[in-house]
């Protein structure tokens, strides 16, 4: 639930447009009830300056079972949660995996707080075998606010890749897409259906004896498998990533970890940084190659 007092600059603006100015998406607006000066109204109505608006989310059928789980919560306020996801944990139920997903645990956690079952609003998602930080908005407004501008959340990863990366830094801008039901993403032009994808990479450490490189990456777009596809396309697949040519007996999964998020606070507009340490299997590989 959000409350607003209409500023003078928005005098005579339609409620729907006012809510867009406040960060709501068109879809978000369709999923709320609006009260103007205490009375239910339509979003097509105009508002006067100093009018009081109350925006309440409509109740939704979630359809996901709440399950108590041990969530690694790295940050929480009244608007969002940031969770450090373990590798091998699926984020959202699928036809093959219907429970014991991160979504089940989030729904249980929020139900304990509010007494209600509400949908898990993931700002970002990670592949099952990728570990690290995931943002969960507690309300539609926060989700819309974060999604309204890509600069409001910066996402950083660490990975171990095969081969010795020669460049200290690299900006990868290769459009990627998929054909039919194929899971793997590949380089595709926009005319072929590829989507713009931009990844920044810098080398943290090289291990010549093991033919491996530790790198840090920042995502500027959020395409499925973006980092995995980009690193494979530049000749350095992530260690343990069978799908993209990084399969290796030294790693049971792709060694990719979302270790840092910098996001804009919904209410104060301050920048907040959250970090998660590398998981044990990642650290074990680094320990071995360093010794």
Q: Catalytic amino acids?
A: 127
Helical (H) or strand (E) element with 34: strand 32-36
3-state secondary structure of 285: helix
Closest CA to 90 of 77, 99, 81: 99
Q: Which of 119, 135, 143, 139 is nearest to 83 (CA)?
A: 135
Query: CA-based Rg of the chain, rounded to a whole angstrom?
Result: 22
Nearest to 228 by CA among 163, 160, 288: 160
Asked whether 87 and 33 are in contact (CB, 8 A), the reply is no
Encoded tokens for 76? 């929480």
Taking the C-alpha atoms of residue 148 and residue 157, their distance in angstroms, rounded to an integer, is 22
């Amino acid at each position: 639930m959000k409350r607003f007092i209409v500023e003078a600059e928005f005098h005579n603006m339609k409620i729907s447009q006012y809510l867009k100015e406040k960060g709501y998406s068109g879809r978000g607006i369709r999923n709320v009830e609006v009260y103007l000066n205490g009375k239910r109204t339509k979003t097509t109505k105009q508002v006067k300056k100093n009018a009081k608006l109350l925006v309440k989310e409509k109740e939704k059928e979630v359809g996901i079972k709440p399950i108590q789980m041990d969530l690694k919560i790295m940050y929480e306020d009244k608007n969002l949660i940031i969770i450090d996801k373990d590798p091998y944990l699926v984020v959202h139920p699928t036809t093959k995996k219907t429970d014991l997903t991160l979504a089940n645990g989030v729904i249980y956690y929020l139900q304990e707080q509010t007494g209600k079952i509400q949908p898990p609003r993931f700002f970002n998602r990670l592949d099952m075998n990728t570990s690290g930080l995931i943002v969960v908005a507690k309300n539609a407004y926060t989700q819309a606010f974060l999604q309204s501008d890509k600069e409001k959340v910066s996402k950083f990863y660490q990975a171990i890749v095969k081969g010795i990366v020669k460049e200290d830094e690299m900006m990868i801008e290769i459009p990627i897409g998929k054909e039919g039901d194929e899971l793997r993403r590949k380089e595709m032009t926009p005319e072929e259906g590829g989507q713009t994808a931009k990844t920044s990479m810098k080398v943290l450490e090289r291990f010549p004896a093991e033919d491996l490189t530790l790198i840090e990456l920042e995502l500027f777009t959020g395409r499925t498998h973006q980092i995995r596809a980009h690193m494979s396309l530049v000749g350095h697949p992530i260690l343990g990533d069978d799908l993209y040519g990084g399969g290796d007996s030294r790693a049971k999964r792709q060694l990719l970890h979302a270790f840092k998020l910098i996001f804009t606070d919904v209410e104060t507009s301050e920048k907040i940084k959250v970090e998660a340490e590398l998981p044990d299997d990642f650290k074990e590989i680094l320990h071995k190659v360093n010794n």
